[in-house]
Structure 1
Amino acid sequence: MPDSMDRKNASATLPASYDLRTSMPPVRNQNPFGNCWTYSAMAATESNLIGKSLVSSSDIDLSEWYLTYFVYNDESPLKPGFTNSSGNAYYDGGGDDWQAVAMLSRGTGSVSGLKVKTPVRPEDVYVPNVMERELKLKNALYLGNLSANREEVQIAAKRIQLVKKTIMAYGAVSVGIYWDNDAVNNEKFAYYSGNYHYQTNHAVTIVGWDDDYSKDNFKEDNRPEKNGAWLVRNSWGDEWGDEGYFYVSYEEGTLCDGVAYDIVSAPNDEKIYQYDPLGLVNFFGQEGKNEVYFANIFTAGAYETINSVAFYTTAPDQPCEIKIYTGCDGSPVSGKLAKTAAVTLKAPGYNTVELDAPVKVVKGEKFSVVVKTSSGLTDNLIPVECLLPGYSDKATAEQGAKLGVI
Structure 2
Amino acid sequence: MKRASKILRDVCGLILASALAFVPIAAVHSCAQAHPLVNASGAESEDVDTADEIDAQALNSYYLTNGNFATSVKLQNPWGACWAFAIASAVESSILKAQAKLDGTYSSYEQEASEASSPKLSDLNDAIDISERAIAWLSHELQDEASAGTQAGEGLYRTDPSDYTTQLAGGNFSIVEAALATRQELLLESSAPYQYNGYYPGAAPWYSDASSGADARRQDWSLNNALRNTNDVGWYVSDIVNLASPAVMEYDPSNETVRYIGYDANATREIKQALVDIGAVAISLEAETSLPGDARSASHFDYNTWAQYDAASSIFTNHAVTIVGWDDSYSASNFSGTESGQPPANGAWLCKNNWGSDALYNALGGSSDATHWGISDNGKSSGFFWLSYYDHTITSPVAFEVKPTESAHNNIYQYDYLGVSEYSEPSSYVDILRVGNVFTAEKTELVKSITAQTFHENEVVSYWIYTLPMKNDGEDNNNGTLAASADCTFEHAGFHEIELDSPVLVAAGQQFAVVERVKANTGTDTDAAEASYLNLELAFKNPPTGDIPVETMAQVVSNPGETYISIQPDSWMSLQEFNDWYSDTQNGTPDMIFGNALIKALTNDTSMSNDSQVYKLVCLNE
Q: With structure 1 as the length reference, what TM-score do the two structures score?
A: 0.89
CA deviation map 1:336-367 (0-9, x unaligned): 11222332111111111012332222222111
Tell me what 1:241 maps to.
Answer: 374
Which AA in structure 1 matches 2:355?
A: W
Tell me what 1:41 maps to.
Answer: 87
Tell me what 1:144 maps to.
Answer: 244
Q: For 1:133-172, list aligned pairs within 5 A.
A: 133=231, 134-144=234-244, 149-150=249-250, 155-172=263-280
Tell me what 1:84 maps to.
Answer: 158
Contact 1:69/1:127, CA 8 A, preserved across alignment: yes
1:226 paired to 2:345: yes
| Distance (whole Å) between structure 2 residues aligned to residue 63 and residue 361 of structure 1 | 37
1:331–1:198: structure 2 CA closer, same or farther, 3 Å change rule? farther
| Distance (whole Å) between structure 1 residues aligned to residue 314 and residue 477 of structure 2 | 42
1:317 paired to 2:458: yes
Q: Which moved more, 1:148-157 or 1:161-170?
A: 148-157
Contact 1:140/1:350, CA 8 A, preserved across alignment: yes
1:27–1:228: structure 2 CA closer, same or farther, 3 Å change rule? same
Which AA in structure 2 matches 1:395?
A: V
Tell me what 1:278 maps to.
Answer: 418
| Distance (whole Å) between structure 1 residues aligned to residue 246 and residue 389 of structure 2 | 19
| Distance (whole Å) between structure 2 residues aligned to residue 331 and residue 319 of structure 1 | 33
Which AA in structure 2 matches 1:84?
A: R
Tell me what 2:316 maps to.
Answer: 199
| Distance (whole Å) between structure 2 residues aligned to residue 169 and residue 175 of structure 1 | 17
Which AA in structure 2 matches 1:317?
A: N
Tell me what 1:394 maps to.
Answer: 555
| Distance (whole Å) between structure 1 residues aligned to residue 246 and residue 71 of structure 2 | 32
Contact 1:167/1:207, CA 8 A, preserved across alignment: yes
| Distance (whole Å) between structure 2 residues aligned to residue 296 and residue 140 of structure 1 | 21
Contact 2:56/2:276, CA 8 A, preserved across alignment: no
CA RMSD across the alignment? 3.0
Q: Which moved more, 1:341-350 or 1:39-48?
A: 341-350
Query: Match for 2:139 among 55, 68, 71?
Result: 71
Tell me what 2:130 maps to.
Answer: 62
Contact 1:71/1:82, CA 8 A, preserved across alignment: yes
Q: For 1:98-137, list aligned pairs within 5 A.
A: 98-119=174-195, 120=206, 121-122=216-217, 123-128=219-224, 129-130=226-227, 131-133=229-231, 134-137=234-237
Contact 1:141/1:260, CA 8 A, preserved across alignment: yes
| Distance (whole Å) between structure 2 residues aligned to residue 271 and residue 46 of structure 1 | 24
Contact 1:137/1:263, CA 8 A, preserved across alignment: yes
Query: Match for 2:429 among 277, 284, 287?
Result: 287
1:204–1:373: structure 2 CA closer, same or farther, 3 Å change rule? same
1:118–1:284: structure 2 CA closer, same or farther, 3 Å change rule? closer
1:185–1:88: structure 2 CA closer, same or farther, 3 Å change rule? farther
Q: For 1:318-337, list aligned pairs within 5 A.
A: 318-327=459-468, 334-337=479-482
Q: Which moved more, 1:347-356 or 1:302-311?
A: 302-311
| Distance (whole Å) between structure 2 residues aligned to residue 324 and residue 146 of structure 1 | 38
| Distance (whole Å) between structure 1 residues aligned to residue 246 and residue 426 of structure 2 | 13
1:366–1:29: structure 2 CA closer, same or farther, 3 Å change rule? same
Tell me what 1:16 maps to.
Answer: 60
1:233–1:337: structure 2 CA closer, same or farther, 3 Å change rule? same
| Distance (whole Å) between structure 2 residues aligned to residue 76 and residue 91 of structure 1 | 19
Tell me what 1:303 maps to.
Answer: 444
CA deviation map 1:245-284 (0-9, x unaligned): 1011111111101111111122467322112101113444
| Distance (whole Å) between structure 1 residues aligned to residue 276 and residue 268 of structure 2 | 13
Contact 1:230/1:247, CA 8 A, preserved across alignment: yes
Tell me what 1:363 maps to.
Answer: 508
Tell me what 2:537 maps to.
Answer: 385
How far is 1:332 from its partner?
A: 10
**What secondary structure does 2:272 align onto?**
helix
Q: Which moved more, 1:141-150 or 1:237-246?
A: 141-150
Query: Match for 1:351 among 480, 484, 496?
Result: 496
Query: Any unmatched runs of 5+ in structure 2?
Result: 1-32, 38-49, 104-124, 196-205, 207-215, 251-258, 289-296, 359-372, 376-381, 524-530, 544-551, 567-622
| Distance (whole Å) between structure 2 residues aligned to residue 341 and residue 233 of structure 1 | 40
Tell me what 2:575 maps to.
Answer: none
| Distance (whole Å) between structure 2 residues aligned to residue 225 and residue 17 of structure 1 | 19
**What secondary structure does 1:33 align onto?**
coil
Q: Which moved more, 1:324-333 or 1:163-172?
A: 324-333
| Distance (whole Å) between structure 2 residues aligned to residue 349 and residue 158 of structure 1 | 18
Identity %: 25
How far is 1:396 from its partner?
A: 2.5
CA deviation map 1:209-268 (0-9, x unaligned): 111111221225422222211111111112320211101111111110111111112246
Contact 1:204/1:234, CA 8 A, preserved across alignment: yes
| Distance (whole Å) between structure 1 residues aligned to residue 61 and residue 142 of structure 2 | 43
Q: Which moved more, 1:3-12 or 1:183-192?
A: 3-12
1:266 paired to 2:405: yes
Query: Any unmatched runs of 5+ in structure 1?
Result: none
CA deviation map 1:299-322 (0-9, x unaligned): 222222222111211221222222
CA deviation map 1:124-161 (0-9, x unaligned): 52324424224321111111269963466762111111
Contact 2:245/2:397, CA 8 A, preserved across alignment: no
Contact 2:88/2:132, CA 8 A, preserved across alignment: yes
How far is 1:285 from its partner?
A: 4.7
Tell me what 2:366 maps to.
Answer: none
1:222–1:377: structure 2 CA closer, same or farther, 3 Å change rule? closer
Contact 2:457/2:490, CA 8 A, preserved across alignment: yes
